[in-house]
Structure 1
Amino acid sequence: MLTENLGEISRSHVFFTLGKGGVGKSTIAIALALELSRKGRTLLASFDPAKHLLKYLGVPEPGRIHSVGVFDAYQLDLEQATRRLAEELEGNLEYLAPSLKVLNAEKVLSVARYTPGLEEDSIIRELSRIYGLTGYDYIVVDMPPTGLSLRVLVLPELYVSWLNKLIDLRLRILSLKYTVEKIRERSRDIRDPVLDKLVELRDTYLGLSTSLKNPDKTSYIIVANPEPLPFYEVKEIMKTLREIHGVNPRLLVMNKVPGDKLTSGSEVFDIISEWCEIPVHHACIQLLNKPPSSLHEVEALTRTIYDCCERLAKDRC
């Protein structure tokens, strides 16, 4: 059982499943949601562009929360969310910077939808919304493959730093405007929509960054296969979590472990040996003849979880 390897879990807790694409993150996320649903009301949210949740759970459409029996499920339509964000960005530019038209710089508006980072920011906004939900005891978030996930986890802190500098710059501009108006003896409301938007964004990203660092509120579960590239990405994820958020994962899950005896000196043996030396809770899932493709099969899978590190120690003997 996955939850037996998690230790004590507080309520109103968010779990992230991270790892290379194809290692079984969605399967582990579903399995964890199943187990947590026996302890309290649970939501499984998938931000994976592959939309595996639609197939696994029969969710009729992305973008809405659906009940799938013992827990609720939500599949983000990343393409649609990114498109909406681009349209919002264009609208904000038109409203907050009308001088662009005066300066004949309208091309800035037309290319706004191609701004780098829209996918990341779409997921960040969804995460902020997820943390704001109050009707769930537990939320499991099935994240995209490693590269996109790490950018999403790093950017809130970076955004806060950028926005603080922009807010300081905007305040100095407004202070200068206010001084000029005062000299001219004009009464002027110094409220500024640009400053208001910058503060709103800074507070949103700061709240998310704080939550991502709080082990009482957030836990990370990293999934891998006993292969070099997935295991390399485990180490990269752990490095980012430590450097940016000052946390370790709560659980490492090694999926698709061969059922036969591990041979000393083999690639799988060496990978699992190094993996077992990481001072974090471990869980292992044996390689199946075919991957689970339904909720019932995932539930059966949770009963096969074992400690391959213990078995490895016996094989060494």
Structure 2
Amino acid sequence: MSAFEEEDIPEPSLANIVDQESLKWVFVGGKGGVGKTTTSCCLSIQLAKARNKVLVVSTDPAHNLSDAFCQKFGRDPMLVNGFDNLYVMEIDANQDMEKIQDEMAATAGDEDQSMLQSLMGDLTSSIPGIDEAMSFSELMKQVQSMDYDIVVFDTAPTGHTLRLLSFPTIMEKALGKIMDLKDKFGGMLNSMSGLMGGAAGTGPNGESPTDMMLGKLTETREIINKVNTMFQDPTVTTFVCVCIPEFLSIFETERLVQELGKFGIDSHNVVINQVLFPEKDADELAEWYEGEKGSMSKECGEICAKMLARKKMQDKYIGQCFDLYGDDFHIILQPLLDHEVRGVEKLTEFSETLVNPVDLEVD
């Protein structure tokens, strides 16, 4: 490899994200169980060194940020112990939907409340993802009203993340369904409300249940479309793909990168976690093993042989990752440790490997 080619290869570090002051939104995603939360926490710690105020948000129904930082977080932003500028919040789509319904119901009569609940139930059952879309809209409305310099999203596994990208389409479907209901049954619904003892529309401006729902969905669509435009701006938003050096994870990362490209979302960083000896290759270890195995006990020999087999497998998939993305992506190899990365101290220590990686030689 020539010196010119080496200079052209992106640095194996997430320092490019920390240094890009224009960034406002950073998404961290990938297959379940590959270390997305650890990566999100470590990246946010590094960002907190360079920004005045950083927020980490979990959009994964199975929240892990509390476990990672060893501190209980909730729906409202909370300062991480030991920091004065790093905050965390964990959102729950189900709770957000209940909050949205309660807010709408508070302005409606008893009969219209029942109809609103029926409409919402029909929407969530017939349009998968509508609850997540409305919850995400409420989150973004809340976050945009705050003064955070940058927000890191610890996302759900890949399938949920891709659904997030399809929220604009989901909202159009929801609006279409409500419009159809209004056109077909609007008059009948108002008449039913009157016959049951209520006014024909008891919203704050005398709206019917369908009008109230239509108004809420229209507001949600406007927020999501505005946010989606920002997400497609590489100076404002980027996506960090996280994986481990195994076939299914690398394959899913490739699918994720392709889908992000279709939606116009910038992604030029891949973090590969749980790497055995990232500073060495399998050939070096095999040579060492051949020279030492004669003096090893049977148990040690078996352990080393299995470790070497795993290392060879990892090197194969890491090589494939460099073949796919090495010319354009920052590929960061994170070492497999002999302990869990939990708590502020260990997360802070491990976060350094994201910006000061092991010096690697890639053929």
User: Which category describes the TM-score, using the shorter chain as reference length?
Assistant: 0.7 to 0.9
Residue 6 in structure 1 maps to residue 17 in structure 2: yes
Structure 1: 5+ residue stretches without partners: 174-188
Match of 2:251 in 1: 232
Deviation per residue, 1:247-270 (Å, 9 max, x gap): 331311111111173337932122
**Which residue of 246, 251, 270 maps to 2:316?**
270
SS in 1 for 2:49: coil
**Cα deviation digits, residues 125-174 of structure 1 (max 9, x gap):** 244235514411111110111111111122x231354467679979999x
| Distance in 1 of aligned mates of 2:22 and 2:33 | 30
Instruction: Answer whether contact 1:3 1:36 (CA < 8 A) is retained.
Output: no
Q: Alignment partner of 1:304: what SS?
A: helix
- Asked if the contact 1:19/1:222 (under 8 Å) is kept, the reply is yes
1:26 aligns with 2:37: yes
The verdict on how the C-alpha distance between 1:164 and 1:24 changes in structure 2, with shifts beyond 3 A counting, is same
Match for residue 27 of structure 2 among 16, 29, 54: 16
Aligned positions of 1:40-55 closer than 5 A = 40=51, 41-55=53-67
Q: Contact between 1:223 and 1:255, CA under 8 Å: does it hold in 2? A: yes
CA drift at 1:84: 3.6
Give the Cα separation in 2 of the matches to 1:107 and 1:3.
Answer: 45
Q: Which runs of 5+ in 2 are unaligned?
A: 1-11, 185-204, 284-310
- TM-score, reference length from structure 2: 0.67
Mark the CA change 1:85 to 1:271 in structure 2 (over 3 Å): closer, same or farther. farther
Assess if the C-alpha contact under 8 Å between 1:257 and 1:287 holds in 2: yes
Does 1:159 pair with 2:144?
no
State the 1:83 CA deviation: 4.1
Map of 2:89 onto structure 1: 74
Q: What's 2:4 paired with?
A: none
Deviation at 1:201, TM superposition (A): 2.9
Query: Per-residue deviation at 1:67?
Result: 0.6
Larger radius of gyration between Structure 1 and Structure 2: 2
Task: Read off the aligned partner of 2:321 and give its amino acid letter.
Answer: W
The correspondence of residues 83-94 of structure 1 with structure 2, limited to 5 A, is 83-85=98-100, 91=105
Which of 26, 48, 51 does residue 37 from structure 1 map onto? Answer: 48
| 1:65-122 deviation line (CA, Å, top 9, x unaligned) | 1111241111123443344456668x49x87x96x97xxxx99459448624255225
Q: Post-superposition shift, 1:302? A: 2.1
C-alpha distance in 2, partners of 1:166/1:112? 10
1:222 aligns with 2:238: no
Amino acid paired to 1:267: M
Point out 4+ residue stretches in structure 1 off by more than 6 angstroms.
166-173, 189-192
CA–CA separation in structure 1 for the residues paired with 2:13 and 2:362: 19
CA distance in 1, matches of 2:92, 2:132: 13
Q: Distance in 1 between matches of 2:246 and 2:73?
A: 34
Change (3 A) 1:134 1:196: same
Of 139, 142, 146, which aligns to 2:154?
A: 142
Relative to structure 1, is the Cα distance of residues 270 and 87 closer, same or farther in structure 2, using a 3 angstrom cutoff? farther
Deviations 1:149-208 (A, max 9, x none): 111122x231354467679979999xxxxxxxxxxxxxxx99983554453233122112
Distance 1:224 1:169, change over 3 A: same
CA apart distance, 1:8: 4.5
Q: What is the aligned length?
A: 292
**In structure 2, what is the Cα distance between the partners aligned to 1:281 and 1:132?**
29
Query: In 1, distance between residues paired with 2:149 and 2:351?
Result: 21
User: Aligned letter for 2:26?
Assistant: F
* Rounded Cα–Cα distance in structure 2 between residues aligned with 1:162 and 1:114: 12
Report the AA paired with residue 75 of structure 1.
E
User: Residues 275-307 of structure 1, C-alpha deviation per residue, up to 9 Å, x if partnerless?
Assistant: 113121111111111220111101111233465
Distance 2:148 2:73 in 1: 21
Aligned residue identity for 1:281: H
- 2:303 maps to 1:259: no
Task: Determine the C-alpha separation between the residues in 1 that align with 2:282 and 2:149.
Answer: 43
SS of structure 2 residue aligned to 1:17: strand
Identity %: 22
Give the superposition deviation at 1:20: 1.0
